[in-house]
Amino acid sequence: MIQERHRAQQRGKDPTTIGCAVRQQFEDTNTRAAAAYVGDRRELYDRLKLEAIVDSAVNLCVTCDPTVARGHGLGRQTMPETAMYSAVCAIQNCWLAARAEGVGVGWVSIVDADALRRILAIPDHIVIVGYLCLGYVSGFDAEPELAVKGWEHRVPLADVMHFDRYGTVDPLRAQGLTQTCDPATRKGSR
């Protein structure tokens, strides 16, 4: 990252100015997003910690070039979107590795992709996959912050399982599978 900062300065782009532009863009988008909520939901929105983009040590824009022919087109001939899926998997791997090292990762979704594209001079054919904030944290919550603060709660896994074809649900079969996959349940059945 230090090397990229150095290269950016040599190209006449001051990373500090770019960072300020991205942060300002986040603040503008966040203000517009907040205006969509009223009453208790607005108060809760205002209490969420969404400004990691401002506080974190590193901001990282992850992109994907769907035109690159890596792997000689294996898989992409029938499912071209696998290039983007691979980028998402890379983000997950980064997230897991960061967590193991005590580094927090946040995926910023309160950004205007078109503005981000302009600020970072990302060509039109490049897909913006995610904008991440990384930094050392004092600790990790046992539960996701949005659930703890009451913004959204997890849907039980069995409620989103479909069998044989989309839309075919079987609560008993789903319950059996979720228990089979639960490490705590497996220990008890040995």
pLDDT along the chain (190 residues), means of 10: 39 49 78 89 82 78 84 74 88 92 88 88 93 88 84 84 91 84 58
Q: Which amino acid is it at 161?
A: M
Angle at 115 between CA 109 and CA 116, to 5 degrees: 60
Give the model confidence (pLDDT) of 142-166 as tens digits. Answer: 888 888 888 888 888 888 899 999 9
Full-model pTM: 0.71
Angle at 151 between CA 54 and CA 129, to 5 degrees: 50
Q: What is the CATH number of domain 2-153?
A: 3.40.109.10
15-34 and 2-10 are packed helices; what angle lies between their axes, rounded to 10 degrees?
Answer: 100
Could you state, in order of their start, the residue ranges of all structural domains in the chain?
2-153, 155-190
| Helix residue ranges per DSSP H, the chain | 2-10, 15-34, 39-47, 52-55, 82-100, 113-119, 145-148, 171-181, 183-189
